[in-house]
Amino acid sequence: MPVRVRLAPSPTGYFHVGTARTALFNWILAKQDPEGVFILRVEDTDPERNREEWVEAIYAAMAWLGLDYTGPFRQSENAPSHAAALEALRAAGSLYYCDCTPAEVDARKGAGAPPGYDGFCRERGLARSARTALRLRTPDEGVIVVPDLVRGEVAFQASAIDDFVVARSSGEALYALANVVDDRDDRITHVVRGEEHLANAPKQMLLWSALNAATGLEVPPPVFAHLPLLVNEQRKKLSKRRDPVALEMYRDQGYLVGAVLNYLALLGWSPRGEDEIVDMATVVEQFRLEDVAHSPAFFDVRKLTAFNGAYVRALSPEGFAELCRPWVDPGEVPWRPSGYRPAWDEDHYDADLFSRLVPLIQERVARLDEVPAMVDFFFLDAPAHDEAAFDQAVRRDPLGRAVLEAAAGAYGALEGFTAEALHATTLELAGSLGLTLRKAQAPIRCAVTGRLVGPPLFESMALLGRERTRARLAAALARA
RNA sequence: GCCCCCAUCGUCUAGCGGCCUAGGACACCACCCUUUCAAGGUGGCAGCACGGGUUCGAAUCCCGUUGGGGGUGCCA
């Protein structure tokens, strides 16, 4: 039987990095089977919380990740099938109407009682009304076994599962039922999702058997695979409220999709051998659900960033330059990071110059959004004024001014304004002042680039040109 | 409360009874290289939660304890 998997996100907020990992694992499974199918199904059955912009965010995220799928489908489109399933279950006696409000249930149980429905309406034989929800009659004893490829068989006490609601009083199916009906209709073979859904699995198993019994169908239920949760430093499930979970944010910060995918694959799984930097083809080749770890994984941005740096360095210079454009090119570009503000005017930007800068900066950034600050002094009339740096390297340094004066003179007399010549000359003037090159380059760097760290100084000055370099040395002298 | 899951360096993990003196990666530290910063190289720090079993032998199997986490909606 060909693998049929799905991603079933709800459009209630940003596309979560955890959703991205779930998507990736599902996609991998489908890719491993020549006939595998990966479905994207947007679970939009809660009109209260859904927003169309979040639906778009799901599509955008999937497109960026490059995970191809069948669809997208909307759960709401399958409402007729949900209704038919509801009717079949009701006719078979698996369901009953309930008009209890949560407050009423709580009141009956008394303050401080454990949560859960008390079965009050189970035998009341209520008829449908505008305020009756439909509940599933669940078994009171026995165990429900959930087949799980990651964890083995997980057994649940039936007594701990109360009669849950499958349809709102409005008549619409709820997630619990809609999800199962859709998985049945889509002939899903593997339900791969986060561990927060593990507790739903026994309920869904119950629904599967009730549904098959009520409809006379014999669709085999899927096998489950509950992936370890992604957690924050406090070991809590990543939350949209306080953790940086929006996939979009990582794209905005200049994380490369390959690095993100690679890192995500390593959360709960690891490739054979010692190399952790692996391409998706390798992952598809080696991945097995049975090998997925059982314990929660901390989403470590520092490691992601280290991976990103490796991916950035592996780019061709041309590829790197192209990928940098959303951050550095004020003109027309394929897309923009949210909150983008041009770092310099369009008429100051020089794509050709930037491409010559690439070798100086590519191995120095781990994220693409670091690039503007690294090259701004080329595209700005005056370099950034980091006063603290200027104080340290020029004003407070007893020889700061002397170095700048010597450089201004020596650079003016240079025959060829090349990196090699600048290097040699600077070495010389440093020596005559009794300084090491390391010490002497600081005030010059600060005067020319505005900063204490940046791309190699002599190469930078050569590209900047004699006039602009000397003008900056003079300007710095005037400020010192 | 109840149900369920989990437990190897700070973090992600390898390990599926002897190959473990517990391996790798990120982070951190030191040194080397060096025009700053990176990158790169070398080395280092650091872990099997605890207690019982089972076994000739346990990080690996079983039980318990402790500790984390998830779920417990007319949300998904």
| Tens of pLDDT, residues A293-302 | 999 999 999 9
Eight-state DSSP code of residue A365: -
Residue A107 clears pLDDT 80, i.e. is over it:
yes
> In the structure, how far is the CA atom of residue A282 from the C1' atom of nucleotide B27, in angstroms?
26
d(CA A258, CA A263): 9
Q: What residues pair up with A120 in beta bridges, in sequence order?
A: none
d(CA A264, CA A249): 15
pLDDT per residue over A431-471, tens digit each? 999 999 999 999 999 999 999 999 999 999 999 999 999 99
Residue closest to A309 by CA, chosen among A272, A356, A256 = A256
pLDDT per residue over A225-246, tens digit each? 999 999 999 999 998 888 999 9
pLDDT of residue A240: 85
Residue A135 phi, psi (nearest 5): -115, 150
Tokens 């499930």: give the residue: A237
* Closest residue by C-alpha to C1' distance, nucleotide B71: A199
> In the structure, how far is the CA atom of residue A298 from the C1' atom of nucleotide B26, in angstroms?
12
Residue A128 phi, psi (nearest 5): -65, 135
Residue A111 clears pLDDT 90, i.e. is over it:
no
> In the structure, how far is the CA atom of residue A162 from the C1' atom of nucleotide B1, in angstroms?
15
ipTM: 0.96
pLDDT of residue A223: 97
pLDDT of residue A195: 97
Residue A160 clears pLDDT 80, i.e. is over it:
yes
Residue closest to A227 by CA, chosen among A201, A255, A260 = A201
Confidence of residue A121 (pLDDT cuts 50, 70, 90): very high
User: What are the residue numbers of the active site of A?
Assistant: 240
Mean pLDDT of A82-96: 97
Confidence of residue A410 (pLDDT cuts 50, 70, 90): very high
> In the structure, how far is the CA atom of residue A270 from the C1' atom of nucleotide B68, in angstroms?
23
> In the structure, how far is the CA atom of residue A341 from the C1' atom of nucleotide B14, in angstroms?
45
pLDDT of residue A342: 95
* Closest residue by C-alpha to C1' distance, nucleotide B7: A295
C1' nearest to CA of A274: which nucleotide? Answer: B24
Q: What's the Rg (C-alpha) of chain A? A: 31
Mean pLDDT of A325-343: 96
pLDDT of residue A178: 97
pLDDT of residue A480: 79
Confidence of residue A109 (pLDDT cuts 50, 70, 90): confident
pLDDT of residue A385: 85
* Closest residue by C-alpha to C1' distance, nucleotide B69: A236
pLDDT of residue A241: 83
pLDDT of residue A81: 98
Residue A37 clears pLDDT 90, i.e. is over it:
yes
C1' nearest to CA of A236: which nucleotide? Answer: B69
pLDDT of residue A282: 97
Six-digit token string for A437: 């090159």
d(CA A74, CA A41): 6
C1' nearest to CA of A116: which nucleotide? Answer: B72
Nucleotides of B under 7 A from a protein CB: 1-8, 10-15, 23-27, 35-40, 68-76
Residue A137 clears pLDDT 90, i.e. is over it:
yes
Mean pLDDT of A108-117: 81
